[in-house]
Amino acid sequence: MAKIRIYAIARKLGIPTKELLEFLGELGMDGLKAVSTVSEDEAKAIEELIRERGGDKASPPAAPPKAPEAEEEAVPAETPAKREEKPGVPRPPVVAVLGHIDHGKTTLLDTIRKTRVAQQEAGGITQSIGAYQVEYNGRTITFIDTPGHRAFTAMRARGAKVTDIAILVVAADDGVMAQTLEAIDHIKAAGVPMIVAINKIDKPNANPERVKKQLADLGLVPEEWGGDTIVVPISALTGEGVDDLLEMILLVADLQDIRADPKGELEATVIEAHMDPNRGPVATVIVKNGTLRVRDVVVVGTTWGRVRALLDHQGRQVKEATPGMPVQVLGLNDVPQPGERVERVKSPREAEAIVAERREAQKKPARPRFKSFEELLAEKEKKKLKLVLKAASVGALEAARLELGAIELENVEIDLLHAGVGPITESDVLLAAAAEEGEPLVVGFGVRVEPRAARLAEQRGIPVRTYEIIYDLIQEIERAGKRLLGPQYVETKVGEAEVKRTFKIPGVGVVAGCVVREGKVIRGGKVKVLRDGQEIFTGEIASLKRFAEDVREVQQGRECGIRIRDFDGVKPGDVLEVYEVKEVQPA
């Protein structure tokens, strides 16, 4: 007997998969997921039950009847849920497609869009970012076709929050490759939901099960194996499984509850830009919130303009772009950078002022530069070290990772964003630059830094260090990690004095006449006031006199006058312990 997936039942009934799963959970069928399967008889029973409960198939299923005694409690129980509802209306999810080169990213989008984009691109490899919208089951999905995870992360490095869902394409014949691993690290760093599309299942040597095993070894356990990773086998060439992939995208979008307010404040981001010889600067923009309109005056990074025209993904002119919609914007004065925000302002004068201020600020370094990364880390008291690690070979990489795993620093988290084999590249620097918390650091073990990566690191102020000896690498990271906690201090006692008498001086306060019993007393030193062996006050020596003269210090055996800042309660017989606070360098 054939097996039917839960999302296929939801599709047949015309209801969201999320609502079907919630309904089945209320019936006691917990633990089911969208890709879970049931028998044909079970599917028919579910369909009949939902039709009985929900009536029209377009209506969401009603909840099962509750016991009378539970009805009174139902009203207050629903109140918090209503408060947690996100404002606005559902908007199309924005989906990025990433993966190893030639694993079929563009062919997949080509199949979804029903256009022959792949044939128009050099060598069948994507050359620039494009954004497209497709309709599926009456709903819209926006796709970003990136030339790789480097562009994906370049947008994040500028603070852009463009993507809602990431599709990782892995070829069923090649399996997980080097760029697949990098793409996974970049998706994880972005913190967006991931769906894995195992492509090329139509090939004779395709082995989807091997790919699933590789994914599981990386911590991406497929749902059908009891994990949380949605894995969809597809053939971008024949179209097999593509509908299932679109269904999963909509399911994840429902679970994320992606919303926007078309009348709200404009939130839009540039994902690609170029100079057109006929039309001038052209920027591809995705609107996340609000509405972008023709004639709007906008600021984009360090350029501005009045929107002369908006073109949708099919090249048609539109008057406005609503949330989730990709458009090409004409009318800017210069070509902006991908990842820049589009901000609407009231007038050209305001736009010019903002751009002038930003260009002036650009002349200053974005990050302070330091002689060593320990100094950079010590400048900010953060407790996360964001590492990108590159090594000359797999063996060297594993050795470095093992040593890193053995580092134990209290209250310091070492977050390994990515570990790979080969030279340090622009992609590595961009990944470190996109880190939102903690201090970024790119380290190499026995590898070189590519010239472009070095220039980018200098521009972004990202510390990049290479080592030939693993002990040196680990020792430097340990020291840097300790510096994350901020400076550590120890108290060093320098002297002790006994109060013989006190004097109350108008306008000054109480001055203690003392004899230095040991060591010395220093002006500005820290002081503890002890009475009958108990500490009653801790403060600072505000002034120190020998007779009527201000002095810096008074040695053992001599008399002096001491005034303690903000404390007039000192009495004869008190003991004053004087000490210094010194910073201790990490070992």
What's the pLDDT tens digit per position in 464-485? 999 888 878 888 788 777 766 6
Same domain, residue pair 506 and 406: no
**Residues of the chain with pLDDT > 90: what percent?**
39
Neighbours of 479 (CB within 10 A): 17
Residues 294 and 277 in one domain: yes
Which tens digits make up the pLDDT trace of 47-64?
888 877 764 444 444 444
Whether 452 is in a domain gets the answer: yes
Q: HEC string of 222-273?
A: EHHHCCCEEEEECCCCCCCCHHHHHHHHHHHHHHHCCEECCCCCCEEEEEEE
List, for residues 271-288, the tens digit of each pLDDT value. Answer: 888 888 788 899 999 999
| Domain coverage including residue 75 | 3-83
At residue 447, the 3 state secondary structure works out as coil
Q: Which of 213, 233, 260 is the last residue of a domain?
A: 260
Mean pLDDT (whole number) for 161-173? 89
Structure confidence at residue 249 (pLDDT): 93
Are 115 and 251 contained in the same domain?
Answer: yes
Give exposure, 450-472, as e/b (b: 16+ Cβ within 10 Å): beebeebbeebebbbbbbeebee
Q: What's the angle, vertex CA 210, arms to CA 205 and CA 214, rounded to 5?
A: 135
Domain boundary among 484, 507, 537: 484
Query: Do 105 and 248 reside in the same domain of the chain?
Result: yes
Q: 172 with 242, same domain? A: yes
Instruction: Looking at the structure, tell me whether residues 449 and 403 fall in a common domain.
Output: yes
Q: Is residue 367 part of a domain?
A: no
Instruction: Please indicate, yes or no, whether residues 93 and 16 belong to a single structural domain of this protein.
Output: no
DSSP per position, 318-353: ESEE-TT-EEEEEEESSPPPTTPEEEEES-HHHHHH
- Per cent of the chain over pLDDT 70 is 83
Residues 95 and 237 in one domain: yes
- Which residues are CB-contacts of 333 (< 8 A; sequence separation ≥ 6)? 281, 303, 304, 305
- Of the listed ranges 218-227, 356-365, 515-524, the least confidently predicted one is 356-365
Residue 72, pLDDT > 90, answer no
Taking residues 418-439, what's their average pLDDT? 86
56: in domain = yes
Q: Identify whether the C-beta of residue 116 lies closer than 8 Å to the C-beta of residue 110.
A: yes
For residue 263, how many C-alpha atoms fall within 13 Å in the half-sphere facing its CB? 3
Buried b / exposed e across 402-416, counting CB within 10 Å, b at 16+?
ebbeeeebeebebee
Q: For position 370, what pLDDT does the model report?
A: 40
Residue 86 pLDDT class (50, 70, 90 cuts):
low
Claim to verify: residue 187 and residue 295 sit in the same structural domain: no
Q: How many domains does the chain have?
A: 5
Q: Which of 64-73, 415-424, 570-579 has maximum average pLDDT? A: 570-579
Within a domain: 49: yes
Higher pLDDT residue, 344 or 85?
344
pLDDT band at 153 (very low <50, low <70, confident <90, very high): low
Give the span between the Cα atoms of 311 and 362, in whole angstroms: 31
Q: What CATH number is attached to the domain comprising 330?
A: 2.40.30.10
Cβ atoms of 226 and 66 closer than 8 Å: no
Q: Give dist(CA 273, CA 259) in Å, integer.
A: 26
pLDDT of 374 strictly over 60: no
- Whether residue 60 is found in the same domain as residue 174: no
Over 60: is that where the pLDDT of 187 sits?
Answer: yes
Report yes or no on 368 lying in a domain.
no
Q: Say if residue 280 is in the same domain as residue 201.
A: no
Question: Quick check: helix, strand or coil at residue 186?
Answer: helix
Query: Looking at the predicted structure, is the pLDDT value of residue 120 above 70?
Result: no
Closest C-alpha among 184, 191, 232 to residue 208: 232
Residue 253 lies in a domain: yes
Specify the range with the lowest mean pLDDT, choosing from 89-103, 138-152, 506-520.
Answer: 138-152
Look at residue 517 and tell me if it is in a domain. yes
Alpha helix ranges (H) inside 141-241: 149-157, 178-190, 208-217
Q: In what helix (H) or strand (E) does residue 399 lie, and over which residues does it extend? A: helix 394-405
Question: Domain containing 15 — which CATH number?
Answer: 1.10.10
Question: Once rounded to an integer, what is the mean pLDDT over residues 192-215?
Answer: 93
How much is the pTM?
A: 0.61
Residue 441: C-alpha distances to residues 78, 372, 561 (Å):
47, 11, 52
Reported confidence tier of residue 337, pLDDT bands at 50, 70, 90:
confident
State whether 235 and 348 are in the same domain: no
3-class DSSP state for residue 131? Answer: strand
At 213, give phi and psi (nearest 5°).
Answer: -65, -40
For residue 181, what is the domain's CATH number? Answer: 3.40.50.300
Last residue of a domain, one of 51, 83, 115: 83
- DSSP letters of 64-79? PPPPHHHHHHHHHHHH
- Report the range of poorest mean pLDDT among 104-118, 273-287, 349-363, 556-570: 104-118
**pLDDT over 60 (residue 75):** no
Dihedral angle computed from the Cα positions of residues 139, 60, 256 and 259, in that order, rounded to the nearest 10 degrees: 60
**Per-residue pLDDT at 514 exceeds 90:** yes
Residue 49 CA to residue 61 CA, distance in Å, equals: 9
Contacts of 495 (CB under 8 A, 6+ apart): 516, 518, 519, 520, 521, 522, 556, 577, 578
- The CATH number linked to 464 is 3.40.50.10050
Per-residue confidence band for 102, with pLDDT thresholds at 50, 70 and 90: confident
Q: pLDDT per residue over 539-556, tens digit each?
A: 999 999 998 899 999 999
Q: Which helix (H) or strand (E) holds 502?
A: strand 488-505
Examine residue 509 and state whether it is found in any structural domain, yes or no: yes
522 touches 516 (CB < 8 A): no
